[in-house]
Structure 1
């Protein structure tokens, strides 16, 4: 730092006081430089005969030494010659070395920054690619699951419609067989049916097949009914016709009014006719159960 002087001060001021006032702030800095870099300056600052100057001037570099001693040391002939001869080149080399070190440090920092930027860009691109692949995979999986759900729903709805159609056809077939004229059953042959061992996916046996070994179980009929005369037969037919009329009247109350079968999937009617055609013979009073309908006859 610069020290200002007042020109109006008396010229009779001691030179020592002027030096102390001028170099009071610089002297500690110079002492620190010589002390900290003494191992380098010892080899650099040598006298005209090759002697080392730093060890000889340590008394002036102490903290307790005055500024005058430091000035006298630096202004001596040996120090002046050594500073002019060696310190200038050393300072230039120091500056050049610092410049080279600064450029090398700058190049190293730029190189490391470029490498870090390249690595970060590659990692960012990899993250973006993985995110896009994951998003695409999620979309594909979601679409596949939706298709599977739609197919399962279609199968469930189709099976429900098929079961409903079969049930309605079976109910109509049973009702039509009960409503038909009694004489058609008396004059027709008597085919017999049995339950097929075939099972569906739910292990239900719902198919009837022709039974070639079927029988009417005539031994269950009383002997008196076999030896009836024609009058008794006519009376029985009249009673049966009366019962059929009552059955028709009751069935009409249970018949549905809606026509939902148009919207239900069709079933092969030939199989229905083949499985459920034939005569029905009543031998005693009973209750016919079909689905949720129970008819007394």
Structure 2
């Protein structure tokens, strides 16, 4: 065997040994990664349990680090229930708001929504995609939570179906978009504008351009005049350069004055002819 032949043989054996070692190291690395992930998950769970045991304050960010960032999320329902039992509602609210809406059981969601101080925020990051435990609980408690919560001036991303007038009016007062589905009925619309004239944003020209309807709405809530459209605005003499306030004044005055004239016309009747004695026949 020549010198070069011996060298090739030796180097080939050495490379095969390196490759075998590399394969072994890769397999060991896979095992190590799995073991590290399991250890991180166990550490996250243990850390959460320790915090609960010691009564330490826990945040939603803590829960994300302990569970989701270890690849072992979401946090178990058992852990979240223990936090609720310990009065750490805000941590659970913040965490669940960020989570998918079908990770936990309906009884858990019922409890969380029932206790939630701000159920609007709890649902604001979620989207409906068919029936889920979360939305089943949400719909069940919706009316109760609306009536017991300060909705402030904001729009709800999700509004459950309801025929409860008190609930509908509270939703309307919070934001006009909350009652989109209720504005097509004119009798309901009259109730809605009384609490928030901005619900007129939800109606079309079959209302905003109709004299009789707009006169009735403006009589309930004068600010409805801001939303008038043609032919009312044309008849009221509104110009293209008129400010919103000037448009309001012209429309309001026109609707009210024409309404009064029609009322007066209806009430003032022509005098009925007085009875006359029959004429005597003239005798020659």
Same-fold call, TM cutoff 0.5: no
User: If each structure's strand is expressed as a fraction of its own residues, which one has the higher value?
Assistant: 1
Q: Which has the higher contact order (CA 8 A, sep 6+)?
A: 1
TM-score range, shorter chain: under 0.3
* Structure-2-length-normalised TM-score: 0.23
TM-score (norm 1): 0.23
